[in-house]
Chain A
């Protein structure tokens, strides 16, 4: 059943659950972080409205910088500001930032240890009709591999707001990943958000499998857990919003206890959350593991729903993966 102790939305399984894109939460969080700290500045590469930087830009025009369609410049200017006492947030679509400007992020942000926050919007296949060119499926891998970098993938708009505010307070480079589409608001104001600490969203009485997810797709994992429960298969759903540093303690604890793991992410299975978990388990406690995510292919145009179905990202896919993992115990 749903974890009752962390203030999750009681209407979570109501078909009319409130939906908001996580990028909205980023916009709100940036606005609030800007109010809290005058050193927060925002830079954007010609995507002010769709990355939700507009509110900040209107309120603090002197702290907003339009860089134009130039993501390498975006990252490197921010690097210069981040070592000069500012807390720059750079916003673009994830395919461009951290996609196109990866080397600048590596050298002059990450290695340089500059206090820059990278917001990758429109991440995942759910960006839909724009097609594979705009569907960032590799960004977590690109950022996770960098020393000094932290990686956070919020699950809904409320968590996105909290993650953004938290990122402004963390010293050093942070990557934040956001989606375009409206997705269910699962958490509440009271739901704890601590970077690096995973939260159990669902806990059956007798779990047989641990489902670990990051991002809005955790909603599909919750639906899968509910359906599994109806079939008398117990599970745990863990929200691992911080992919780096991973909550190793929690993940090891539950995987040891229940003996099978399914990772769930809207990203290539290579290099993302699943890989991070597999690296941890391989070292300390190998258990059967299944990977729900994009299986090494590019996406295509289509509606988010159609794409989720075709590329295996639905509750049904998670359920099947959970059963496979249990069978392999």
Chain B
């Protein structure tokens, strides 16, 4: 991974903004889907695909590529938008999200779209699948890294903790979990639905290395990725504190935006805000 220069950082922040705008356009066109999670994770997805990963969008099956598993598949609009801008498939295809015959299924499917490593959606099984990939890589003596993106809500699932226990036992240092700690799930705030804190203590008790960052700060996130890759004796989890709905003021931090798309009017307003934000990014870096 190259050093994150100021110029690259500006490019990444701009790209994240473009991806946020595409997410809004995709969701309003689809008429269903999740808004808050994808917007909150746009910075992390951009950082991964445009800076962190060793991958080749023109050869999505390249054996030595790093793997990204999206365990909380419902935020796939952000992954689709990022993959398209990274060159995995045409950007115009984004507008087919959730439509009949589309490669952009409502939840990601391995066999539908290049760049999707595995099928996900039902929560709680992505970390286990990532473990399988990490074990296979270890058996093959392969050097690629597996990144598993997870939601905080899916830490309600028993399967998630089975996987956390297993990865700790087996010291899977080629695996990094990235948890979107945005504090919301469908029924409300995570700490009301089913308290998760202290996530740090829980992971540490299961023999993981725990890092915490502002998940909307690309510099902080990239630094944590570097630290995770330099940790050899344990798997690392990066707890990323993000703002759900980030970039659209009326969606930010409101759990009611977890699982619904914007109306046409709301989308217009959201896109206006994101364009203003884009201008701010440009001026801040000047």
B-contacting residues of A (Cβ < 8 Å)? 41, 62-63, 65, 67-68, 70, 72-73, 75-86, 88, 103-104, 107-108, 111-113
Query: Which B residues are CB-close (under 8 A) to A85?
Result: 136, 140
Cβ of A80 and Cβ of B131 under 8 Å apart?
A: yes
Is there a chain A Cβ closer than 8 Å to B121's Cβ?
Answer: yes
Residues of B close to A112: CB separation below 8 A: 109-111, 118-119
| Among candidates A63, A73, A86, residue contacting B166 with C-beta atoms closer than 8 Å | A73
Interface-central residue, A68, A70, A75, by most chain B CB under 10 Å: A70
Is the pair A86, B109 in contact by a Cβ cutoff of 8 Å? no
Name 11 A/B residue pairs within 8 A (Cβ), A-sorted. Answer: A68-B166, A72-B162, A75-B128, A76-B129, A77-B135, A79-B129, A80-B118, A81-B133, A104-B125, A111-B119, A112-B109
Q: How far is the CA of A111 from the CA of B137 in the complex (A)?
A: 23
Interface residues of B toward A: which range? Answer: 20 to 34
- Give min CB distance, B13 to chain A, whole Å: 33
Q: How far is the CB of B261 from chain A (nearest CB, A)?
A: 24
In chain B, what residue has the closest Cβ to A82? B132
B-chain residues with CB within 8 Å of residue A107 when the two chains form the complex? 119-122, 125
CA distance A72 to B163 in the complex (A): 9
Q: A107-B121, A107-B125, A108-B120 are in contact. Are A81 and B166 (CB under 8 A)?
A: no
Residues on B with beta carbons closer than 8 Å to the beta carbon of A108: 118-120, 125, 129
Find chain B residues with CB under 8 A from A76 CB: 125, 128-129, 132, 159, 163
Nearest-neighbour CB distance to chain A for B7, whole angstroms, equals 36
**Contacting residues, chain A, for B131 (C-beta < 8 A):** 73, 77, 80
Q: Which of A79, A103, A113 has a CB less than 8 Å from the CB of B132? A: A79
Q: Which are the 3 A-B pairs with shortest beta-carbon distances?
A: A80-B132, A76-B128, A84-B136
| Per-residue interface assignment for chain B, residues 208 to 235, with 1 indicating a CB less than 8 Å from any chain A CB and 0 otherwise | 0000000000000000000000000000
Which among B118, B129, B158, B163 has the highest number of chain A CB atoms within 10 Å? Answer: B129
Please, which residue of chain A has its CB at the minimum distance from the CB of B73?
A: A107
Chain A residues with CB under 8 A of B135: 41, 65, 77, 80-81
Interface centre among A104, A107, A113 (most CB of B within 10 A): A107
CB closest residue in chain B, given A77: B132
Report the nearest A residue to B67, measured CB to CB.
A84
Q: What is the bound-complex CA distance between A111 and B139, given in angstroms? A: 25
Residue of A nearest to B124 (CB): A72
Chain B contacts for A67, CB-based, 8 A: 162, 166
Measured CA separation A83–B122 after assembly (Å): 18
Contacting A at CB under 8 A, from B93-151, are: 109-111, 117-122, 124-125, 128-137, 139-140
Q: Which residues of the other chain, A, contact B132 by a CB distance below 8 angstroms? A: 76-84, 86, 88
Known: A108-B118, A112-B110. A73 touches B136 (CB 8 A): no
B-chain residues with CB within 8 Å of residue A86 when the two chains form the complex: 132, 136, 139
Residues of chain B contacted by A70 (CB below 8 angstroms): 159, 162, 165-166
Bound-state CA distance A70–B169 (Å) is 14
**Which among A68, A82, A83 has the highest number of chain B CB atoms within 10 Å?**
A83
CB neighbours (8 Å) of A41 from chain B are 135, 139
Most buried by B among A68, A78, A112: A112
Q: Mark B30-66, 1 if CB is under 8 A from A, else 0.
A: 0000000000000000000000000000000000000
User: Within the complex, which residue of A63, A75, A84, A113 is in contact with B111, where a contact is CB–CB below 8 Å?
Assistant: A113
B129 A77 Cβ-Cβ under 8 A:
yes
Chain B residues with CB below 8 A from A113, complex form: 110-111
Docked pose: A280 CA to B217 CA in angstroms: 60
Contacts of B134 in A (CB 8 A): 80
Q: A65 CA to B137 CA in the complex, in Å?
A: 14
